[in-house]
Amino acid sequence: MKNYKLILQYDGTNYAGWQIQFNAISVQGILQDNISLIINESINLIGAGRTDSGVHALGQTANFRTEKVLDLYRFKHSLNSIIPRDIAVKSIVEVGEDFHSRYDAVKRSYIYLISKGKSPFYDKYSWWYHGPLNCDKLNSLSEYLIGEKNFTAFSRKASETENKFCHIHNIRWKDWMGHLIFYVEADRYLHGMVRTIVGTLLHALKLNLNIDYLSSVINSKDRESAGEAVPAKGLFLYKVKY
């Protein structure tokens, strides 16, 4: 049995997220159907992260197993030629049969892009924030979230998993060409967690709240205590590390 690992990029605007869903178009569904068509064999495409509706990816990782020996150059070319223009296969390599793109991942990183002003070129891929932005203050607040914590307050109430502990390894904000970029790297994430973290930090900035506010949100384990989640269109799955 052969096992192939893909690195993917996609614009999530027109999709109901990565994961296959009933009566909805998903990135996983489009890719899985077209891979099966090319190799004439039903496959199960496994993704490293379940990006939500409207969320994009710069470095999604996926893998599938097949009995076929593929010409990787021809396969990549064929797949890219038939999938929609808003999905792209950047690379494909053969990996060990035991490799699992989701369970073997040790760190996943996301970025969130905020525009400081209106731009038709960034409208689909960033959120225009109407208010002052202080990068130093945001970085100071964000440091409190580093480490292993219970992020129940930052997840959707209908979150599927019972384990709400996540370990954030790195988190920071950076000014860049009229934008503010939020970066976070963690071992795992809860449903809606990144967008809620961004919204909560911006809420703290707006009201000049300090780390005590973030501490109270964490300790409350109550979604209502955190800030409003920011729109999906500014969020990108950046990289998956193994």
Residue in 3, 1, 4, 52 with CA at minimum distance from that of residue 28: 52
Q: Is 156 exposed, middle or buried (0-12, 13-18, 19+ CB in 10 A)?
A: middle
Please indicate whether residue 52 is annotated as part of the active site: yes
Do residues 232 and 54 make contact, with C-beta atoms less than 8 angstroms apart? yes
Selected catalytic residue, list 52, 123, 175, 212: 52
CA distance 134 to 224: 25
205-234 exposure pattern, b = at least 16 Cβ within 10 A, e = fewer = beeebeeebbeebbeeeebeebbebbebbb
**Catalytic residue set:** 52
